[in-house]
Structure formats: structure tokens, C-alpha cells
């Protein structure tokens, strides 16, 4: 997910950050333009197209019959998959999912699962034999940084867009989504914290911290990336940033 930048560009980005500035003119706590469109994949039960600046992600949701997991025989199943295609970035390669794709899928999955965004207990059909499975597929079309936030927002938007399958086994009046988790990633470059990093900023970061929250600001998932660290004070600052920005992003879901 991260590449190499020249030492000249690296120094330039770091110097800008020290001044509270960024490559594209934003201030440190400002997201790029964000747009969300839903219902973009007609063959899916739910879908969303999210753009954050030049980053673009499309998410599709399919609902199908499946066997339950042995430890939760009465509950539905959630599966999240991420596809990073060479079309989106020269750093992506064809083949089985790499570490970047696996991390992206897991962070999004954790946000949905740990927030109880979907009432999976309502998706049981026949105890121990048949349940509804919710398959979330994330497709990265353009990569210019902050794939996690774009993918998480797209996933929540797609889940809110779900139309139940036309199947006699479906007895619910509507899809049981009950929370709207949103991820906000905070990057540290030297001692400066910033949100919604572009790709060049990700490539020179010391560390990043993704915090997923629900509507009331409760944390349901966290993921650290990079080789650097966050102090306790910086983590507290990152949470306040993430909570504020998640509220702004959640407005796009309306």
C-alpha cells in the first residue's frame, strides 16, 4: 500500500507538516472532498461508490444462504473481502490477496462486527444448518491514499443501501442494520497529526492510527500502522480528531 518517495519530496512534506500545511493546500484536520453514491451495482443487494479526493472505492454487498459457524449456529455470517487491482495503482499486483488487502478487509470487518452494525442473530434461518451470509466486496478503483476510511465509509453506505433478497426464506421486513460505524485515520509525521492522508503523505508517515466509532462516539475498533509510535497524549488527540471527523463523514451517509 505504501511506496517510495524521493528524499527531496519527503523533506518537503515533513517541512510543510511542521508549518501545519500540506501538499494539496489543506490544513491538517481537513478531509479532501468526499462523495458517496449508492445503488451503483444493480446485481448486488447493496452498493456504494465513494470518492475521497482522487481515491475511489466501490463496495458491493451480496446476501446468500450459507452454513453457520459451529460456535454461533443461530447467527448469520459476515465476510469482508478487498480487491487491490493493478488498475488502481502500479504498486498493486495480480494474484492472491497480499498483506495490504488482508489488512484493509480486516479493519473494515472489525469495525462492522465489533460495532454490531448488523444484527446477525436475526439472520438465522434453520438452527445449525442454514443462515444468511452477508458478503462485502471492496474494490479499489483509484488509490491516492486513505483506503481504509474510504472503504469503511463505502461499506456502511452499501449496508444501508441493502435490499433484501427475493427468497421465501427471507422473513424480515428489512435488512437488520442498527449502527453506522465510520473509520477515521490519523497520520503522524514528526509530531504533527493529520487526517485523510494522500498517498505521498502515507509514504513518509511515522505511524498511522485508524479509529472506528459509532454514532455516540464510542470506539469499536482501532488499528495502528507504520513503524513509529503515538504517545498517550497523541492517542487522545487522535481520538478527538477521529470522533469529530467521523461525525462529518457520517453526514455523507444521509
Query: What residue ranges do the domains of the chain occupy?
Result: 26-251
Long-range contacts, stretch 72-75, CB < 8 angstroms, 24+ apart: 72/120, 73/124, 73/127, 73/128, 74/121, 74/124, 74/127, 74/128, 74/131, 75/120, 75/121, 75/123, 75/124, 75/131
Ordered per-residue pLDDT tens for the chain, 254 residues: 445 678 899 999 999 999 999 999 999 999 999 999 999 999 999 999 999 999 999 999 999 999 999 999 999 999 999 988 776 676 766 666 678 889 999 999 999 999 999 999 999 999 999 999 999 999 999 999 999 999 999 999 999 999 999 999 999 999 999 999 999 999 999 999 999 999 999 999 999 999 999 999 999 999 999 999 999 999 999 999 999 999 999 999 98
Q: Which CATH superfamily is domain 26-251 in?
A: GHMP Kinase, N-terminal domain (3.30.230.70)
Amino acid at each position: 500500500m505504501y511506496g517510495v518517495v524521493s528524499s527531496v519530496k519527503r523533506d518537503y512534506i515533513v517541512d510543510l507538516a511542521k508549518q501545519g500545511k500540506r501538499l494539496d493546500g489543506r490544513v491538517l484536520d481537513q478531509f479532501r472532498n468526499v462523495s458517496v453514491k449508492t445503488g451503483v451495482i444493480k446485481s448486488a443487494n447493496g452498493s456504494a461508490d465513494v470518492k475521497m479526493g482522487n481515491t475511489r472505492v466501490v463496495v458491493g454487498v451480496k446476501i446468500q444462504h450459507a452454513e453457520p459457524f459451529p460456535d454461533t449456529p443461530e447467527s448469520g455470517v459476515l465476510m469482508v473481502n478487498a480487491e487491490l487491482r493493478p488498475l488502481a495503482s502500479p504498486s498493486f499486483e495480480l494474484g492472491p490477496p497480499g498483506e495490504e488487502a488482508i489488512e484493509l478487509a480486516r479493519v473494515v470487518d472489525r469495525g462492522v462486527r465489533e460495532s454490531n452494525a448488523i444484527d446477525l442473530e436475526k439472520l438465522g434461518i434453520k438452527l445449525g444448518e442454514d443462515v444468511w451470509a452477508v458478503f462485502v466486496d471492496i474494490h479499489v478503483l483509484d488509490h491516492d491514499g486513505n483506503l481504509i476510511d474510504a472503504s469503511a465509509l463505502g461499506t456502511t453506505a452499501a449496508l444501508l443501501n441493502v435490499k433484501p433478497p427475493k427468497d421465501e426464506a427471507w422473513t424480515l421486513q428489512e435488512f437488520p442494520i442498527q449502527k453506522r460505524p465510520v473509520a477515521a485515520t490519523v497520520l503522524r509525521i514528526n509530531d504533527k497529526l493529520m487526517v485523510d492522508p494522500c498517498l505521498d503523505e502515507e509514504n513518509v508517515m511515522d505511524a498511522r492510527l485508524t479509529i472506528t466509532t459509532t454514532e455516540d462516539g464510542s470506539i469499536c475498533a482501532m488499528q495502528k500502522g507504520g513503524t513509529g509510535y503515538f504517545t498517550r497524549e497523541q492517542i487522545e488527540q487522535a481520538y478527538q480528531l477521529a470522533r469529530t471527523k467521523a461525525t462529518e463523514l457520517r453526514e455523507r451517509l444521509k
